[in-house]
Chains A and B, each alone.
Chain A
């Protein structure tokens, strides 16, 4: 199986879908001539031409809203936000228009748009460029939210997202863009809403999404090595829809849960998952559900400090030990 990066996986997914469906196009700032600010779309303009790969001005409210309108009339635009943080500039277009149009029209209209881009901290770009708005997006009924943590998922989820008839917020990670793994050639889909048990275990469920769940795997190795603790690691992959069944089955098996994510703690995905576990698996719990998030402040610039503000392997490891006390 070929080994490709997360970046190449995204490019392959979009390319395959552009070749499959004439209504699919990629739009965004610097996606065409510049080959993508993060080179996700490198070479795509040369291959597919300016009708399918479209450079936009720096005008997120305008071009995201335009994509929503075009989707209403049957196109399937994939809109790149150079940083997902810039979603706030297009907030009204995403959460009033894309999210609500089906509902307010009594089901007459649907909006098959994908809005994608990196949503992560850890690159020393300060608070404005480091937002992780998965819970903010998932708060809105009508919206779907996907957060792939590896190249295999990035490709399969992107293809599913493009074919989805509802608006999908697809949140990537610049630090993962260069990470490689084996990814099969050609067609495969990863369905939205299907969690992935990355590591089986019996003593504790570490559940999470995005880059933090990759760190959780390393923390699980440490737990095994130092304390002979078998942690199960569950990658949600998709926030809305949410695979409650896999979460609950894991917790029922291990009786302890720790949620890890890069977001801030207030109303985070972990808060929601903790609530679901306490609602539906309370009797199976031997300890309160614990959460490990970024430290609750705007993203700090200072490079060594930003590393510590985000989840780290060490912090996840310590949080897991506390859950097991």
Chain B
């Protein structure tokens, strides 16, 4: 495991057990299974994406979520109907967690018209506003002001909801993130800044990029609540801490910063050979002790929610779903040249309601 910066946060209450936390104690058989199933689906989808990438079916970058599944699944599982979510380019896990389908996601990766963005966004830019999912953003930290704006709009409209604005540990040194912290704290906006700290901003470790005792503690400078989820691989601990932050946002309209410690098994993107900045042993050690799927599986086996048979069944279904999505993507048509100029201007796409005149395109 990478050398972690010492957390200065108050130690956990002795005997803390995420399973006994109120938000988790009431979880029934089906809900627990659902959490596990969603994590498995993410992993199998990502593995299938990797194969497609290696086959040359997917262009550009591919940032896999393998190792971090417990975060998206845990966070989304406690969101309510007025809660919204936005993230960066490692967005497949969040998309599946909010309920987007593998077909539209894989087709997007393939650049096909049946993709969630009609092949115009790609792997880094998934969106589904109907599920309160606002992307999928390519510039590190650039989505954080947008997430703050979602919270602003919720408060403006008097809705009891919050925005979860996700970023990686590399984003915390971007100015736009700090400006967002200030605005959120200044105006008491219901936003939760979730830092998925996987230890590396691309190939640069946290120690080599970020000053200070912890990433979350920077919130103190803005008088904001903060917390650290040490065991980010534990979906139940993620749920507990996010639920607490959501409660603050919903009931007191207070923002917070939540740093969730996690790990990615693959390179920053698939193009990263992953040989320059960390030891393979570090990856193997995490996989063998803290794998989110394995940890959840063991706990649910012990609770007799899962059986070996069910594990195999869930796995098989997830693999088939992912495989089908690749076939769907393969069989789907590409956008046409005519499609290139659609979805640029609302007015062009809605000609009956166009109020402006003149040329909007110049080719």
Nearest-Cβ distance from residue B74 to partner chain A, whole angstroms: 24
Taking a contact as CB atoms under 8 Å apart, the answer to whether A106 and B117 are in contact is yes
Taking a contact as CB atoms under 8 Å apart, the answer to whether A241 and B156 are in contact is no
Residues of chain A within 8 A of B142, CB atoms compared? 65, 92-93, 96-97
Residues of chain A within 8 A of B154, CB atoms compared? 73
Taking a contact as CB atoms under 8 Å apart, the answer to whether A104 and B182 are in contact is no
Q: Which of B134, B138, B153 has the most CB of A within 10 A?
A: B153
CA distance A163 to B183 in the complex (A): 26
CA distance A195 to B356 in the complex (A): 11
> With A62-B180, A75-B156, A163-B355 in contact, do A241 and B346 touch (Cβ < 8 Å)?
no
Taking a contact as CB atoms under 8 Å apart, the answer to whether B125 and A104 are in contact is yes
Nearest-Cβ distance from residue B184 to partner chain A, whole angstroms: 9
**Range of interface residues on B (Cβ < 8 Å):** 35 or more
Q: Is A197's CB within 8 Å of the partner chain B?
A: no
Number of chain A residues whose Cβ lies closer than 8 Å to a Cβ of chain B: 57
Q: Is B34's CB within 8 Å of the partner chain A?
A: no
Chain A facing B: main interface SS: mixed
Taking a contact as CB atoms under 8 Å apart, the answer to whether B356 and A67 are in contact is no
Q: Identify which of A51, A72, A192, A245 contacts B356 (C-beta below 8 A).
A: A192
Q: Mark A184-205, 1 if CB is under 8 A from B, else 0.
A: 0000010111110000000000
Q: Is B219's CB within 8 Å of the partner chain A?
A: no
Binds B, one of A5-13, A36-44, A107-115, A290-298: A107-115
Q: Which of A192, A194, A195 has the most CB of B within 10 A?
A: A192
Residue of B nearest to A75 (CB): B153
> With A59-B179, A92-B176, A97-B142 in contact, do A103 and B148 touch (Cβ < 8 Å)?
no
Q: Is A57's CB within 8 Å of the partner chain B?
A: yes
Q: Is A230's CB within 8 Å of the partner chain B?
A: no
Nearest-Cβ distance from residue B29 to partner chain A, whole angstroms: 35
Q: Is A240's CB within 8 Å of the partner chain B?
A: yes
Q: Is A133's CB within 8 Å of the partner chain B?
A: no
CA distance A25 to B139 in the complex (A): 27
Taking a contact as CB atoms under 8 Å apart, the answer to whether B357 and A107 are in contact is no
Residues of chain B within 8 A of A65, CB atoms compared? 142, 144-146, 148-149, 176, 179-180
Q: Is A221's CB within 8 Å of the partner chain B?
A: no
Cβ < 8 Å to A, chain B residues 138-174: 138-139, 142-150, 152-154, 156-157, 163
Q: Is A257's CB within 8 Å of the partner chain B?
A: no
Q: Mark A154-166, 1 if CB is under 8 A from B, else 0.
A: 0000001001111
Q: Mark A60-97, 1 if CB is under 8 A from B, else 0.
A: 01111111111111110000000000000000110011
Taking a contact as CB atoms under 8 Å apart, the answer to whether B361 and A141 are in contact is yes
Q: Mark B330-363, 1 if CB is under 8 A from A, else 0.
A: 0000000000001111110110000111111110
Residues of chain B within 8 A of A211, CB atoms compared? none
Residues of chain A within 8 A of B138, CB atoms compared? 96
Nearest-Cβ distance from residue A165 to partner chain B, whole angstroms: 4
Q: Identify which of A25, A166, A276 contacts B347 (C-beta below 8 A).
A: A166
Taking a contact as CB atoms under 8 Å apart, the answer to whether B176 and A191 are in contact is no
Residues of chain A within 8 A of B129, CB atoms compared? 72, 105, 108-109
> With A61-B175, A73-B154 in contact, do A110 and B346 touch (Cβ < 8 Å)?
yes
Task: Please give the residue numbers on chain A whose beta carbons come within 8 Å of chain B beta carbons, in ascending order.
Answer: 25, 51, 56-57, 59, 61-75, 92-93, 96-97, 101-110, 141-142, 144, 160, 163-166, 189, 191-195, 238, 240-245, 272, 276
Given A106-B127, A238-B356: 16 more A-B contacts, CB < 8 Å? A25-B156, A57-B182, A62-B182, A68-B149, A69-B134, A93-B176, A101-B135, A106-B116, A107-B342, A144-B356, A192-B357, A193-B359, A238-B358, A241-B356, A244-B358, A245-B358
Task: Please give the residue numbers on chain B whose beta carbons come within 8 Å of chain A beta carbons, in ascending order.
Answer: 84, 86, 115-121, 125, 127-130, 134-139, 142-150, 152-154, 156-157, 163, 175-176, 179-180, 182-183, 186, 342-347, 349-350, 355-362
10 closest residue pairs by CB, A with B: A69-B149, A65-B145, A62-B179, A193-B358, A69-B146, A107-B343, A241-B358, A106-B117, A106-B118, A73-B153
